[in-house]
C-alpha cells in the first residue's frame, strides 16, 4: 500500500502542474473550464434511466477504492457528504461514443453501454490529488468517439505460452486504452495452445516441444528443457467472458496451412510426407505444412473450427495463411492431383483454393475470415478481410479490391521489434521506436475517399519468439501500446507528438501504479554516427531534460569529458558515453562505439543502386562510417540492405592514393533471407569516368559477417565496388522462390 501511495504522490505532481488533459488516448472534443469539482470521499452513482451492468462501473470503482480510498454508495442518506455521478443511457449515441460533463456540483456521463465504459476509463485518468490529499477533477465537457472501428492488439501464445492470469492482465491494459479487439494467436509450429476435444493429441503432443532455441536465431544453442502449455476450453470461455465484460472482442487465430508443425506432429496424416514430425524447437519458417490435396485435411480444419467458433463468439475468425512454403505441395502427388482436378495453375492457386474452401465453411456458420496478406496471392477469398503485415501494400491492394483491411505493418506496428538502438536483450527484426509508432497513419495516401472506408483500423502485434516471460512482454508493450491507442482512437488532427511526449511521464507513473514494466528507451542516450563536414562524428542525444551527457575515449581510460557537440572521429578509437544527474551520478548504462578507420572512412560515397527503405542506414555514408558490424546479427542502422538488387558504390578518396587492399563487408543469415553476394567486382579510376577492373571474387571469408577481400597495387582516386545479388532463394531454404537480400555494412580501403 505504501508503494501505491508514493506512486500517487508522483502522479499528483505531474497532474497538478500540467493544466492540460492527461488522458490517453486523447479524447476527440475537450472543453475544459478553469475550476475544479472537489470529489468527496464518498461517491454515489445515480442511474437516470436504468441501471447499467456491474461490469461497466467495476474497474472505475475498484480504481477509486484501491488508489484513492473512496467509498462507493448506491444510496447516500440525507446528511452524508458525497459526490454524485449521474449515468444516462443514450440510445441515440453511436456505439462507443460518450460524453462526460463535469459541473460545479456533479458529474454526468452519457452514452451506450460501451460508451459509458469508455467514459469511466477517461474519468479515472482525470482525477487529481491535491497537496492536502483531497481529490478534485477539472470542470468541463468531453465528447469522445473512436476514429477506427477496429482497434487491435495481438499476442502470440504459440512461441511462448502465457497463462490465463497474464492474458487477463493484457486484456485490462487493452480496455484501459480503449482497444476493442484482442487477436489471440493460438497455434504455431512451436506449440498448439488450444484444447480441441475431437483431437486430443493436439494438446497431448502438440502443446510440448522437447527444447527451445536459447541462442541467437541461426545458432545451435538449445536449452534442453521441455516446454509445454495450452488453454483448456473452460479457460478460454473464462477469458472470452472477461474480455466481453470489457467490451473487447477476442479473435482466435488458427494459423493454416503453414505454421502447423505442432498439428502435424500430433496427427502426421495431415502432412504431405506423413512424417514423422516433431514440434519445432527453433524459430523461422519450415517447409512442412498441411496437405492441401487430401480431403481429410479439410475435415480436420472444419472440425477444429467448429469447436473454435463454439468457444469464440467473434464475427471474425483468423485463419492465418502466412508464410506457407509451397515446396511440399510441389512434390506431393495428392496436392498435384488436386491442382489438376481443380484446374489450378500453380501452388499459389492451390493456397487460394485452400483458403477459399475454408472461408466458405466459416461463412456457412455466419462468420467471416481474416487472413494475413499472403491470402491475396493466387486470388482473394470473396469475403476475406486482409491483415497487412508485410508493409502496407497488402492493405492497400485489399482496399482497392473493395475488401476490408486491418493495418499491422511490421514497421512500425510489430512491437516485438526493438525500440532502442541500445537494446541489450535479443529482439526481432527492425527498429520501431516510440515516435515512429505514434506517427503511424493507417490510411495510406494513395487510397481514394471511397477506398479509405475499407481500412477498418490498425493493430499492434506481439510475436513471442524472444519474449519468454511477462516482464519482457511489458517492456516491449509500454509505452508503445499507449502511443498506438492514440493512432487508432483519436481524430487524426488531434494526434500531437509533442503533447504525447508531455504526457509520457504521467503514463510512466500509471505503469508503476499497475506494477507493470515498461521501457525507458525514449529517455535513453541515443547515439548515432553522422557525416559532418569534417568527416565522421559521433552524435549523442537524450530527451532526458535533467541528464547531462559525458563521454570518454577508450574503455581503459577513466577521464570523462562533458559532451557539447558531435565528437569528430579522426582515428580508430572506441568511444563511450553515459548520462549523469546534476550530482554527477551516472543514471544510464554506458553506450560504446568502436570506430575502425581506413582510407575510405568519411569519404564521399555514392550508391547507384537503391537500398530498401527498411534497411537504408544513414544512406550511402553507412558504408564508410568507420562502423563494422561484428555482432553476427542485424542491427538495421549499421547496414544497407538490397532486396533482389545488386549493390554498386563509388568512393571518392579526394586525391590520388596508393591502394593495396579493398574489402567489402557483407552479411549472411539465410534463415532471414539474407544471402552472400554471388560475386564482387572491384574497379579503380583516376578521373571518376573511366573505371578499370581490378578483379572479381566469388567467395568471402568468415561466417555471417563475411569479408570479400582483394589485394592490388593501384594508384587511383576513385574505387567502385559492384556486388551481385545472390538471386532467388533456392528450394529447400526458408523463403524459397523469393528475392534474397544483400546486406553490407562497410567498404574498407587500405
The binding site for Zn ion (CB under 5 A) comprises 272, 291, 293, 332, 334-335
Closer CB to ligand ACM, 146 or 371, in the complex? 371
Residue 205 binding target from ligand ACM, Zn ion, none, CB below 5 to 8 Å by type: none
Q: How far is the CB of 322 from ligand ACM (least distance, A)?
A: 4
Torsions phi, psi of 250, nearest 5?
A: -100, 120
Handedness of CA 603, 604, 608, 612 (dihedral sign): positive
Closer CB to Zn ion, 162 or 354, in the complex? 354
Q: How far is the CB of 540 from ligand ACM (least distance, A)?
A: 34
Peptide bond into 603 cis (omega under 30): no
Closer CB to ligand ACM, 428 or 744, in the complex? 428
Q: Which one, of 639, 625, 591, 593, lies nearest residue 422 by Cα?
A: 591
Closer CB to ligand ACM, 144 or 253, in the complex? 253
| H-helix or E-strand spanning residue 114 | helix 113-126
Q: How far is the CB of 261 from Zn ion (least distance, A)?
A: 15
Q: How far is the CB of 297 from Zn ion (least distance, A)?
A: 8
Closer CB to ligand ACM, 25 or 371, in the complex? 371
Task: Give buried/exposed letters for 605-640 (b at 16+ CB in 10 A, else e).
Answer: bebeeebeeebbbbebbbbbbbbbbeeebbbbbbbb
Q: How far is the CB of 310 from ligand ACM (least distance, A)?
A: 26
Angle between helices 233-245 and 295-311 in degrees, nearest 10: 50
Q: Determine which residue in the list 389, 475, 675, 741 makes contact with ligand ACM, applying CB under 6 A.
A: 389
Q: How far is the CB of 286 from ligand ACM (least distance, A)?
A: 13
Closer CB to Zn ion, 155 or 332, in the complex? 332
Q: Which one, of 43, 51, 53, 144, lies nearest residue 100 by Cα?
A: 144
Cα torsion 418, 423, 425, 429 to 10°: value is 30
The Cα–Cα gap between 495 and 29 comes to 12
Which residue is it, cell 490529488? 129
Instruction: Restricting to residues 648-667, name those near ligand ACM by CB under 6 A.
Output: none
Q: How far is the CB of 352 from ligand ACM (least distance, A)?
A: 17
Closer CB to ligand ACM, 319 or 605, in the complex? 319
Q: Does 322 bind ligand ACM (CB under 6 A)?
A: yes
DSSP string, 541-590: E---TT-EEEEEESTT----EE--SPEEE-SSEEEEEEEE-TTS-B-S--
Question: Helix/strand/coil (H, E, C) string of 337-402?
Answer: HHHHHCCCCCHHHHHHHHHHHHHHHHHHCCCEEEEEHHHHCCCCCCCCEEEECCCCHHHHHHHHCC
Closer CB to ligand ACM, 288 or 322, in the complex? 322
Residue 272 binding target from Zn ion, ligand ACM, none, CB below 5 to 8 Å by type: Zn ion
Q: Does 372 bind ligand ACM (CB under 6 A)?
A: yes
Closer CB to ligand ACM, 195 or 322, in the complex? 322
Residue 271 binding target from ligand ACM, Zn ion, none, CB below 5 to 8 Å by type: none
The Cα–Cα gap between 538 and 627 comes to 11
**Residue 9: other Cβ atoms inside 10 A:** 12
Q: Does 307 bind ligand ACM (CB under 6 A)?
A: no
In the three-class reduction of DSSP (H, G, I as helix; E, B as strand; rest coil), residue 410 is classed as helix
Q: How far is the CB of 331 from Zn ion (least distance, A)?
A: 9
Q: How far is the CB of 602 from ligand ACM (least distance, A)?
A: 38
Count of residues of this chain found to bind ligand ACM when the rule CB under 6 A is applied: 4
In the three-class reduction of DSSP (H, G, I as helix; E, B as strand; rest coil), residue 178 is classed as coil
Q: How far is the CB of 323 from ligand ACM (least distance, A)?
A: 5
Closer CB to ligand ACM, 184 or 683, in the complex? 184
**Could you tell me which residues come within 8 angstroms of residue 675 by beta carbon, excluding any fewer than 6 positions away?**
668, 725, 726, 729, 740, 741, 742
Give the nearest residue (CB) to ligand ACM.
Answer: 322
Q: Is residue 649 packed enough to be buried (19+ CB in 10 Å), middle (13-18) or exposed (0-12)? A: buried
Question: What ranges in 127-258 are assigned the alpha helix state H?
Answer: 164-176, 201-204, 233-245
Q: How far is CA 642 from CA 185, 320, 530, 614, in A?
A: 31, 28, 21, 10
Closer CB to ligand ACM, 410 or 625, in the complex? 410
Q: How far is the CB of 352 from Zn ion (least distance, A)?
A: 16
Residues forming the site for ligand ACM (CB under 6 A):
322-323, 372, 389
Amino acid at each position: 500500500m505504501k508503494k501505491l501511495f508514493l506512486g500517487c504522490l508522483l502522479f499528483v505532481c505531474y497532474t497538478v502542474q500540467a493544466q492540460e488533459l492527461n488522458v490517453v488516448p486523447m479524447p476527440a472534443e475537450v472543453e475544459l473550464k478553469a475550476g475544479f469539482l472537489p470529489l468527496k470521499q464518498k461517491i454515489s452513482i445515480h442511474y437516470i434511466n436504468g441501471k447499467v451492468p456491474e461490469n461497466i462501473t467495476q474497474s472505475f470503482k475498484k480504481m477509486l477504492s484501491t488508489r484513492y480510498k473512496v467509498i462507493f454508495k448506491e444510496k447516500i442518506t440525507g446528511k452524508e457528504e458525497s459526490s454524485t455521478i449521474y449515468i444516462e443511457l443514450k440510445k441515440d449515441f453511436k456505439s462507443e461514443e460518450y460524453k462526460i460533463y463535469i459541473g460545479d456540483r456533479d458529474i454526468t456521463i452519457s452514452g451506450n453501454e460501451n460508451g459509458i465504459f469508455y467514459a469511466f476509463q477517461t474519468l479515472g485518468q482525470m482525477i487529481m490529488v491535491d497537496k492536502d490529499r483531497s481529490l478534485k477533477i477539472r470542470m468541463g465537457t468531453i465528447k469522445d468517439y473512436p476514429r477506427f472501428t477496429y482497434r487491435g492488439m495481438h499476442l502470440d501464445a504459440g512461441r511462448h505460452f502465457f497463462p490465463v492470469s497474464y492474458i487477463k492482465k493484457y486484456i485490462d491494459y487493452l480496455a484501459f486504452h480503449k482497444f476493442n479487439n484482442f487477436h489471440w494467436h493460438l497455434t504455431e509450429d512451436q506449440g498448439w495452445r488450444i484444447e480441441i476435444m475431437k483431437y486430443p493429441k493436439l494438446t497431448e503432443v502438440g502443446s510440448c516441444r522437447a527444447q527451445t532455441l536459447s541462442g541467437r536465431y541461426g545458432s545451435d544453442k538449445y536449452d534442453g528443457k521441455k516446454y509445454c502449455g495450452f488453454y483448456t476450453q473452460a479457460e478460454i470461455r473464462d477469458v472470452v467472458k472477461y474480455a466481453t465484460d470489457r467490451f473487447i472482442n477476442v479473435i482466435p487465430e488458427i494459423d493454416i496451412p503453414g505454421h502447423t508443425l505442432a498439428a502435424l506432429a500430433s496427427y502426421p496424416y495431415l502432412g504431405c510426407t506423413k512424417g514423422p514430425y516433431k514440434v519445432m524447437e527453433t524459430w523461422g519458417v519450415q517447409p512442412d505444412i498441411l496437405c492441401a490435396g487430401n480431403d481429410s485435411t479439410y475435415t480436420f480444419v472444419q472440425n477444429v473450427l467448429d469447436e473454435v467458433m463454439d468457444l469464440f463468439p467473434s464475427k471474425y475468425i483468423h485463419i492465418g495463411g502466412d508464410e506457407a512454403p509451397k515446396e511440399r505441395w510441389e512434390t506431393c502427388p495428392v496436392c498435384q492431383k488436386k491442382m489438376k482436378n481443380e484446374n489450378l495453375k500453380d501452388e499459389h492457386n492451390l493456397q487460394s483454393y485452400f483458403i477459399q474452401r475454408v472461408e466458405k465453411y466459416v461463412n456457412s456458420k455466419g462468420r467471416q475470415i481474416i487472413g494475413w496478406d499472403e491470402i491475396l496471392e493466387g486470388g482473394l477469398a470473396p469475403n476475406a478481410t486482409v491483415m497487412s503485415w508485410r508493409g502496407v501494400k497488402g492493405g492497400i491492394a485489399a482496399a482497392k479490391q473493395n475488401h476490408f483491411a486491418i493495418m499491422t505493418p511490421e514497421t512500425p506496428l510489430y512491437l516485438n521489434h526493438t525500440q532502442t538502438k541500445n537494446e541489450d536483450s535479443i529482439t526481432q527484426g527492425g527498429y520501431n521506436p516510440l515516435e515512429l509508432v505514434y506517427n503511424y497513419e493507417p490510411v495510406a495516401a494513395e487510397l481514394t475517399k471511397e477506398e479509405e472506408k475499407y481500412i477498418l483500423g490498425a493493430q499492434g502485434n506481439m510475436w513471442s519468439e524472444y519474449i519468454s516471460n511477462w516482464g519482457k512482454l511489458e517492456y516491449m508493450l509500454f509505452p508503445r501500446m499507449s502511443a498506438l491507442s492514440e493512432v487508432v482512437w483519436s481524430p487524426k488532427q488531434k494526434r500531437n507528438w509533442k503533447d504525447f511526449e508531455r504526457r509520457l511521464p504521467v503514463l510512466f507513473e500509471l505503469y508503476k501504479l499497475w506494477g507493470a514494466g515498461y521501457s525507458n528507451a525514449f529517455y535513453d542516450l541515443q547515439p548515432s554516427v553522422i557525416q559532418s563536414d569534417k568527416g565522421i562524428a559521433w552524435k549523442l542525444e537524450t530527451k532526458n531534460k535533467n541528464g547531462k551527457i559525458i563521454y570518454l575515449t577508450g574503455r581503459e581510460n577513466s577521464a570523462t569529458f562533458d559532451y557539447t557537440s558531435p565528437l569528430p572521429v579522426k582515428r580508430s578509437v572506441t568511444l563511450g558515453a553515459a548520462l549523469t544527474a546534476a550530482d554527477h551520478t551516472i543514471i544510464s548504462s554506458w553506450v560504446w562505439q568502436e570506430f575502425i578507420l581506413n582510407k575510405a572512412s568519411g569519404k564521399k560515397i555514392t550508391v547507384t543502386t537503391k537500398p530498401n527503405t527498411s534497411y537504408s542506414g544513414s544512406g550511402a555514408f553507412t558504408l564508410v562510417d568507420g562502423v563494422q558490424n561484428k555482432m553476427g546479427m542485424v542491427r538495421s542502422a549499421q547496414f544497407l540492405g538490397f532486396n533482389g538488387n545488386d549493390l554498386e558504390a563509388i568512393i571518392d578518396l579526394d586525391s590520388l592514393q596508393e591502394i593495396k587492399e579493398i574489402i567489402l563487408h557483407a552479411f549472411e543469415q539465410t534463415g532471414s533471407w539474407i544471402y552472400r553476394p554471388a560475386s564482387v567486382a572491384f574497379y579503380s579510376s583516376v578521373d571518376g569516368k573511366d573505371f578499370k577492373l581490378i578483379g572479381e571474387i566469388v567467395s568471402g571469408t568468415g561466417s555471417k559477417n563475411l569479408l570479400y577481400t582483394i589485394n592490388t597495387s593501384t594508384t587511383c582516386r576513385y574505387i567502385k565496388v559492384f556486388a551481385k545479388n545472390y538471386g532467388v532463394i533456392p528450394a529447400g531454404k526458408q523463403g524459397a522462390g523469393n528475392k534474397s537480400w544483400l546486406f553490407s555494412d562497410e567498404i574498407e580501403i587500405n
